[in-house]
């Protein structure tokens, strides 16, 4: 079976490897699920892995099968699986348990281990292949009415986790009814964060760089959010005009934006950081003022990465609500399908030269 792979540590090594079809007995206790892959999305993480900035092969291999945004259909299940059946549509989570206390209680997205195991990213093969097998505890069912957008679930879970963390943290306030939010960035995560906040009835201002008209701006406005071009209205000014923001979700990939966001955050507000910034950018900031406003305003800032099964389940519920409230909106994010694993060069070209693309994904098999 074909699998899109890289040689970790070797830049631009993406290629097609050949692997045997996995079998159910790779999972203990009869709890295995064999999934036929239908679609797999790619993102910045895949770009970095192919640039050899990130990623490691599983033990015993010199290559890593990439792809962590999978969507597929169950082909067979082990004798002790009751949760899903052949024909069901599913998405598998990405991170697998390590050894910290957080892993032991089933919250491996909160691991304190330094090494982590992530399918398609680090030390575990991913989903850009024809079939995979996993333990049913890592497999989440997607209703068939969402199959056309199921490939967006994994990126959506990153947003779900961030927002859920914000609400959890804000329980410190006894009463928290966020009314105004800002989202920094209008890429896939920024768009999905805007959606998730709109679904919670919050007024959202999304800050982005690209001038209008553009598809991302149209999508933001189509769900009743405001699209602000930072060249015209910088974040701090935007905060004065449209804030104060009770919650800010940062997803630009630019760490400098974090410090502007800290200044646009309202009193008692929470700032959620989701950008994985591998660089070494330096910025100068008004540190005394930012610190003073954080202290006097009882503000919180929290980082978030990865997502556990519960966030996949929340993502399914929010995607269902999105389809009911904004029918067809999620599909408009699926701008760049690439048919067939053998067309990996095209897949990566689209990912590295995004010409107005939002989600680039591989159609491994027909839905
Ligand atoms: C994935 C997460 C993962 C993170 C860090 C992201 O692209 O969506 O699941 O935890 O990369 O590896
Ligand atoms: Zn990702």
Residues 6 or more apart whose Cβ sits within 8 Å of residue 142: 71, 89, 90, 91, 150, 153, 316
Closest ligand to residue 303's CA: 1
68 neighbors 21 (Cβ within 8 angstroms): no
What is the per-residue pLDDT for 286?
A: 98
Residue list, CB under 5 A from ion ligand 2? 43, 45
Q: Is the CB of 189 under 6 A from ligand 1?
A: no
Q: Which atom of ligand 1 is nearest to the CA of 305?
A: 10
243 neighbors 299 (Cβ within 8 angstroms): no
274 neighbors 249 (Cβ within 8 angstroms): yes
* Rounded distance between C-alpha atoms, residue 58 and residue 108, angstroms: 18
Q: Which atom of ligand 1 is nearest to the CA of 122?
A: 12
Q: Is 40 helix (H, G, I), strand (E, B) or coil?
A: strand
Closest ligand to residue 41's CA: 2
Which candidate, 120, 201, 190, places its Cα nearest to that of 156?
190
What is the per-residue pLDDT for 359?
A: 98
Residue 324, CA distances (Å) to 140, 224, 232, 342 in order: 21, 15, 34, 36
Q: Is the CB of 158 under 6 A from ligand 1?
A: yes
Give me the residues paired with residue 317 across strands: none
Q: What is the set of domains in the chain, with CATH numbers?
A: 2-149+334-363 (3.90.180.10), 157-303 (3.40.50.720)
57: which DSSP letter?
A: P
Pairing status of strand 360-363 against strand 336-339? parallel
* Rounded distance between C-alpha atoms, residue 193 and residue 250, angstroms: 9
Q: Is the CB of 94 under 6 A from ligand 1?
A: yes
Q: Is the CB of 46 under 6 A from ligand 1?
A: no
* Rounded distance between C-alpha atoms, residue 228 and residue 183, angstroms: 10
What is the per-residue pLDDT for 164?
A: 98
Per-residue pLDDT 10s for the chain (367 aa) are 999 999 999 999 999 999 999 999 999 999 999 999 999 999 999 999 999 999 999 999 999 999 999 999 999 999 999 999 999 999 999 999 999 999 999 999 999 999 999 999 999 999 999 999 999 999 999 999 999 999 999 999 999 999 999 999 999 999 999 999 999 999 999 999 999 999 999 999 999 999 999 999 999 999 999 999 999 999 999 999 999 999 999 999 999 999 999 999 999 999 999 999 988 999 999 999 999 999 999 999 999 999 999 999 999 999 999 999 999 999 999 999 999 999 999 999 999 998 899 999 999 999 9
Q: Which atom of ligand 1 is nearest to the CA of 45?
A: 7
Model-wide pTM > 0.85: yes
- What is the 120 CA–ligand 1 centroid distance (Å)? 9
* Rounded distance between C-alpha atoms, residue 186 and residue 144, angstroms: 28
- What is the 93 CA–ligand 1 centroid distance (Å)? 10
* Rounded distance between C-alpha atoms, residue 40 and residue 121, angstroms: 14
What is the per-residue pLDDT for 347?
A: 98
Q: Which atom of ligand 1 is nearest to the CA of 69?
A: 8
* Rounded distance between C-alpha atoms, residue 185 and residue 108, angstroms: 27
Closest ligand to residue 306's CA: 1
What tokens were used for 217?
């701006």
- Which residue out of 44, 49, 68 has the highest number of ligand 1 atoms within 8 Å of its CB and is therefore the one to mutate? 68
């Amino acid at each position: 079976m074909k699998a899109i792979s890289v040689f970790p540590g070797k830049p631009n090594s993406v290629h097609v490897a050949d692997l045997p079809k996995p079998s159910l007995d790779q999972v203990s206790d009869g709890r295995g699920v064999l999934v036929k892959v239908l679609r797999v999305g790619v993102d910045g993480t895949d770009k970095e892995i192919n640039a050899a900035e990130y990623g490691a092969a599983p033990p015993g291999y010199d290559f890593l099968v990439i792809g962590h945004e999978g969507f597929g259909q169950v082909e067979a299940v082990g004798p002790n699986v009751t949760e899903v059946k052949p024909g069901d549509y599913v998405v598998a989570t990405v991170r697998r348990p390590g050894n910290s206390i957080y892993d032991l209680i089933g919250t491996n997205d909160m691991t304190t281990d330094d090494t982590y195991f992530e399918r398609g990213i680090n030390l575990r093969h991913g989903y850009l292949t024809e079939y995979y097998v996993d333990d049913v505890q890592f497999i989440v069912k997607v209703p068939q009415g969402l199959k056309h957008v199921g490939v967006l679930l994994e990126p959506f879970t990153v947003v779900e986790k961030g927002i859920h963390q914000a609400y959890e943290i804000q329980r410190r306030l006894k009463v928290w009814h966020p009314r105004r939010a800002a989202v920094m960035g209008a890429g896939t995560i920024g768009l999905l964060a805007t959606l998730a906040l709109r679904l919670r009835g919050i007024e959202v201002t999304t800050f982005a760089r690209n001038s209008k008209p553009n598809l991302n701006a149209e999508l933001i406005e189509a769900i009743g959010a405001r699209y602000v071009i930072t060249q015209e209205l910088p974040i701090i000014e935007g905060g004065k005009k449209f804030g104060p923001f009770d919650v800010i979700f940062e997803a630009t990939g630019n760490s400098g934006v974090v410090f502007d966001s800290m200044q646009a955050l309202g009193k008692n507000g929470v700032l959620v950081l989701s950008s994985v910034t591998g660089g070494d950018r330096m910025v100068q900031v008004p540190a005394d003022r930012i610190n003073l406003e954080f202290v006097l305003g009882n503000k919180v800032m929290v980082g978030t990465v990865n997502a556990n099964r519960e966030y996949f389940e929340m993502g399914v519920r929010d995607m269902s609500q999105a389809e009911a409230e904004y029918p067809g909106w999620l599909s408009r994010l699926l701008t760049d399908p690439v048919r067939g694993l053998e067309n990996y060069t095209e897949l990566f070209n689209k990912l590295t030269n995004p010409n107005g693309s939002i989600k680039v994904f591989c159609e491994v098999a027909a839905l």
